[in-house]
Amino acid sequence: MKIILAPMEGLTDVHMRHILTQMAGQTGFDWCVTEFIRITQQLLLPKAFYHYCPELLTNGKTASGTPVHIQLLGSDPQLLAENAQRVVELGAPAIDLNFGCPAKSVNQHRGGAVLLEEPELVHQIVLAVRNAVPKQIPVSAKMRLGVNDRSKMVDNALAIESAGASWLTIHARTKADGYRPPAHWHELATIRQHVKLPMIANGDIDSVTNAQRCQQQSQCTDIMIGRAAVIQPCLIRALRGETYQLTWAQLLDWQRQFLQHMQQAVVNPLVVDSQQKWTEAGAVGRYKQWLGMLLQAWPEAQTLFQQIKKERSYSQIYQIVQQSA
């Protein structure tokens, strides 16, 4: 069984990838995927790719050795192909194409899930990227079940398969569904009747029980987990069959490391205006975001959240976290 850490815009940046893949242990994630990199009008400079994926400077892997796949989003097949070729030259181990983002700000510019209304364009994009990069570099796609309904879900899967994709990840909802439960895992089994392409199931996999239910209903062995991995950082270990129990004290220590990683990230001379560059406001906001999500599974987080929620000083927040027990 392969388990992948999902790309989540505004959440799984280099710092979160660093911590979550470290916490996952030696048998953790098979790979993770960057936040989407929007491709609109031009061939991006190397610094833009380093901005989203500083791991390109470390052989395309996190500190724990987890490969980081680059996700591209756009609607111009040739431009996506040229950018895929460039980022592969920079060291990307694999390319993923985004046909799943439901955000209006993305969809109104013909990016993400809205493209599922045009299976032929989806095919052209995957084909162009597949032809642009070396054969040994995997090219995958991530899609939803459709835009407003599921009528084209099989057409899109076939379009992606016939273009030569290495595998297909499916979030088991339409764009219109957003993130409202339930995830329609059974529809992946329907798609599987029509394609031989390896498939990865995604959506509402937030426990071992739900992972097993998803696998059974979708007929997919491989799974991708997203927000649940952030809220329950050791869910991955449970999915691997480990009996490891994470304590709040241990999770506090990981939070300290997360804060330190944001502060101490070194800007490579090749990377100008890199996401690696630490800013106080950015670090404070990102930590509050994570702690706010931890509230959903960790009652102990409530006291700490109340202490830091109005703080704007990184040093003050770090001191509070250091003194917490």
Catalytic residues: 101
CB 235 within 8 A of CB 229: yes
What amino acid is encoded at 286 in this protein? R
Distance in angstroms (rounded) separating the CA atoms of residues 172 and 202: 6
Residue 197 structure tokens: 């392409």
Give just the sign of the alpha carbon dihedral 217, 161, 91, 109. negative
Residue 266 structure tokens: 């070194």
CB 98 within 8 A of CB 112: yes
Q: Taking CA 236 as the corner, what is the angle to CA 233 and CA 242, rounded to the nearest 5 degrees?
A: 115
If we measure between CA atoms, which residue out of 67, 64, 51, 65 comes closest to residue 14?
A: 51
Cis ω for the linkage preceding 182 (within 30 of 0): yes
Classify residue 36 by its DSSP letter.
Answer: P
CB 80 within 8 A of CB 307: no
First to last CA, the chain: 36
Cα–Cα distances (Å) from 181 to 177, 205, 232, in that order, read 8, 11, 19
Cα–Cα distances (Å) from 83 to 35, 61, 166, 214, in that order, read 15, 20, 19, 34
Q: State phi, psi for 58 to the nearest 5 degrees.
A: -125, 50
3-class secondary-structure state, position 3: strand
